[in-house]
Amino acid sequence: MTGPLPFAVLISGRGSNMLALEQATRDGRINGSIVTVISDRADAPGLVEARRRGLATETALPAPGMDRAAFGRELSRHIEQSGARLIALAGFMRILDGGFVQGWRGRLLNIHPSLLPSHRGLHTHRRVLEAGDAVHGCTVHFVVEELDAGPAVIQGRLAVRPGDDEASLSARVQRLEHIIYPRAVGWFAAGRLTWREDTALFDGRPSGPEIVEESE
Ligand code: GRF
């Protein structure tokens, strides 16, 4: 271990997961600190709240004509300069190019609002309802080049109730997200969650995702 973990959080919107991570750095669940909050939208509401909490914030947008790879290189250089040793994607709505993902492989986490591998991509709550799924939830996973396909680290799980709609599922899933993301980053900071030869290890061993049930 090399001391508290400096990490970056990338957002595009409200940033409630970023705030949950920040809270966890304050109360000791994560031995680390957020060194930069980066948004690809200057008007992301999360930036305002991040500044209010004294966090450094930046907006990162591709310059006109800049392709995805060049943007990825610039973003990567920028994050390296911040001193971050981990990136937590938290509602970052831009697809990162392969070079970026390769460069940060094993140091790049994402939170996704479904029980992966079910329902990769967007509109997960709607798709859960349409499919008549009995369970739903959220997943923290390492990011690999294929979208929403990297190894799952921890999942929050809930039973879909009669009468649930997209809004109620979204609210319940987010409550679980705010529990599991700090836990995953806390493990990473403590050296319990590692990455070796393209495999996620927990306490040095490959393992399936930890499951947190809604009632916990
Ligand atoms: C979360 O539901 C997360 O799973 C998804 O984007 C949403 C971000 O919400 N990737 P917030 O900005 O953290 O409130």
pLDDT digits (tens, 9 = 90+) for 35-61: 999 999 999 999 999 999 999 999 999
Instruction: Name the pLDDT band for 198 (thresholds 50, 70, 90).
Output: confident
Here the tokens at position 189 are 């900071």
Q: How many alpha carbons fall within 13 Å on the CB side of residue 50?
A: 30
Instruction: Name the pLDDT band for 170 (thresholds 50, 70, 90).
Output: very high
**Ligand 1 atom with least separation from CA of 111:** 4
Residue with tokens 């495999």, as numbered in its chain: 199
DSSP state string for 32-71: EEEEEEEES-TT-HHHHHHHHTT--EEE--PPTT--HHHH
202 CA from centroid of ligand 1 (Å): 24
Does any ligand 1 atom lie closer than 6 A to the CB of residue 22?
no
14 CA from centroid of ligand 1 (Å): 8
Instruction: Answer for the pair 173, 136: CB distance below 8 angstroms, yes or no.
Output: yes
DSSP state string for 90-157: SS--SPPPHHHHHHHTTSEEEEESS-TTSS-SS-HHHHHHHHT-SEEEEEEEE--SSTT-SPEEEEEE
Q: How many alpha carbons fall within 13 Å on the CB side of residue 141?
A: 21
d(CA 76, CA 138): 26
d(CA 158, CA 171): 12
Quick check: bond before 64 cis, omega within 30?
Answer: no
For residue 154, the model assigns a pLDDT of 98
**Ligand 1 atom with least separation from CA of 17:** 13
Q: In this predicted model, what pLDDT tens digit does every residue of 70-105 receive, in sequence order?
A: 999 999 999 999 999 999 999 999 999 999 999 999
Q: In this predicted model, what pLDDT tens digit does every residue of 119-152 receive, in sequence order?
A: 999 999 999 999 999 999 999 999 999 999 999 9
Instruction: Answer for the pair 124, 114: CB distance below 8 angstroms, yes or no.
Output: yes
Does any ligand 1 atom lie closer than 6 A to the CB of residue 137?
no
142 CA from centroid of ligand 1 (Å): 16
pTM here?
0.97
d(CA 156, CA 27): 21
112 is known as an active-site residue: yes
Coil, strand or helix: which one is 189?
Answer: helix
For residue 216, the model assigns a pLDDT of 58
